Amino acid sequence: MFPTLIRRMASSSKDSLLKKAPLTVATNPYKARKVWPPNFKQLTVQQQLRFEKKYKRRIILASRAPRWVKFVKTAQLLTIVAALIWICFYSEFEWWGQKYKPSEEVRTYDYRRTKNY
C-alpha cells in the first residue's frame, strides 16, 4: 500500500487541459466520420430521403423550447382567468332593460354570510 502511494506521489501529474493547445480542425483528435454537409448529387434517392428525415427530426428536437411553451401556456391561462374575473366582477350586463352586476350579488352574499357570525 505504501509503495504504491509513494510512487504515485513521486510521479508527475498529467498535463492539464489548460496547458494543451486549443482544439482546431487540424489538432482535433476526434475526426468526423462523415463529410458535412453531404453532397446530395452523390447520394442515392433512398439515402437522400433518409438524410432528410433524420435532419428534419434533429431540427425539430433542437428547436424545441419547453420553457417557452410553458410560459405561453401560463400566459394564456392567466389571460383567460383575468378575463373571467373581469366579466364576473366588473362588467355590467343589460338584460331586459335592467342593468345587472354579478359583483353586487357576490357582495350581498358575503355581507349576509359575515353578518351571521
pLDDT at 39 over 60: yes
**Domain stops at, among 46, 61, 76:** 61
Number of domains in the chain: 2
* Longest distance between any two alpha carbons in the chain, whole Å: 101
Q: What is the mean pLDDT of the chain?
A: 83
Domain span at residue 102 reads 65-113
Does 47 have pLDDT greater than 60? yes
Judge contact between 79 and 87, C-beta under 8 A: no
Most confident region among 14-23, 61-70, 96-105 by mean pLDDT = 61-70
Q: Is the pTM of this model over 0.75?
A: no
Query: Could you tell me which residue, 103 or 46, shows the higher pLDDT?
Result: 46
The alpha helices in the chain, defined as continuous H runs, are 2-10, 45-63, 66-89, 102-115
CB 48 within 8 A of CB 37: no
Q: What is the DSSP letter of 17?
A: T
CA-CA distance, 44 to 40, in Å (whole number)?
8
Q: What percent of the chain is predicted at pLDDT more than 90?
A: 26
Does residue 57 sit in the same domain as residue 77?
Answer: no
